[in-house]
Amino acid sequence: MRYVVGYQSDERGVDALALAVAIARAQGAQLYVILVLGEDAPYVPADQETNPQGRRVNPDERQVRTAQRTVLELVPEDVEVEFHVRQGRSPAAVLIETAIEVEAALIVVGAASNGLLKRYTVGTVANALLHASPVPVALAPRGYRRSDPIERLTAFIGQRPGTDAAVDVALVAAGRRDVPLRLVSLVQLGERGDHGEDIDAARRHANAVLADAVQRLPRGHEARVEVVHGRTFEEAVDSIDWLAGELVIIGSSRLAQKRRLFLGSIANKVLRVLPVPLVVVPLEYERAESHPLG
């Protein structure tokens, strides 16, 4: 199994690399780290560059050497890694093309954020990936440095299209990794009214999903369900307890094309306040034999 990692020589690149290592560890997954240069960049391979005394200095080659050295230093010995340079006008398009070419199961990138609590504001590359990638995309929040293996998977569930693919990925991944699985149903209560019926309906649906999950997980595997609510989806997410080694899985919008990503309105609201990494799964993702986290 191979994961494509979008690397850049800044904090976001380090965030993406740390998350990729955490997901890949103990799974035999290989990291295919990509540094994307502009298609007009005067990139010259190292064996064609003259020394500084010859007054021919190649800043792109220096950038590549520094990036490669950093990547190899940051990736631990128990994770296989390859470093590659690609050129193109759109970094997102290059990452998608590479993922298809090498049959990668996941694309991992860092997401920009503001504030003190590692909140996301999705950057240009991540946003483009979320609208076009045919494979799942993992987003690392700003400042993510935890490279230990994932400790628990949380899948957001609901009754809208897109949920089934996310739950399928979570089930396969939790079973193979032997980590606990938590299924979370979010209920937005609004400002007024009696919301008991909404909460009860969410609990019935969540328990049905859990019952099916238990049947599909290895015997004795830990799985549970939580129904959380608030006046807004953001408030509901803020009320959830998170582990340091948590990874959230969510499905793409019902408006997305089949096997393409699109982050819907609810997922966008969740992303604003989510303090842990997130994997977005394309609608009707069908590669069960190579689920990205399994």
pTM value is: 0.85
CATH entry 3.40.50.620 includes domain 2-140 = yes
Q: Phi/psi at 275 (nearest 5 deg)?
A: -95, 5
What share of the chain has pLDDT > 90, as a percent? 37
Whether the predicted pLDDT of 234 surpasses 50: yes
Burial class of residue 181 in the structure, from the number of CB atoms within 10 Å of its CB (0-12 exposed, 13-18 middle, 19+ buried)? buried
Whether the predicted pLDDT of 288 surpasses 50: no
Taking 3-state DSSP, the helix, strand and coil percentages for the chain, each rounded to the nearest 5, stand at 35, 20, 40
Side-chain-side CA neighbours of residue 13 (13 Å)? 18
Whole-number pLDDT of residue 198: 72
Whole-number pLDDT of residue 51: 43
What the block records as the tokens of 51 is 């020394």
Closest CA relative to residue 280, chosen from 124, 111, 100, 71:
111
Q: Which fold has domain 152-290?
A: Rossmann fold (3.40.50)
In the chain, which segments carry CATH 3.40.50.620? 2-140, 152-290
Whether the predicted pLDDT of 100 surpasses 90: yes
DSSP state of 131: H
Whole-number pLDDT of residue 115: 43
Whether the predicted pLDDT of 284 surpasses 70: no
What the block records as the tokens of 124 is 């240009």
What share of the chain has pLDDT > 70, as a percent? 77
Whether the predicted pLDDT of 103 surpasses 90: yes
The pLDDT of 122-147, averaged and rounded, is: 88
Whole-number pLDDT of residue 123: 75
pLDDT single digits (tens) 177-217: 889 999 998 888 766 655 667 778 778 877 888 888 888 88
Q: What is the mean pLDDT of the chain?
A: 81
Find all residues with CB under 8 Å of 10, minimum gap 6, and list them.
none
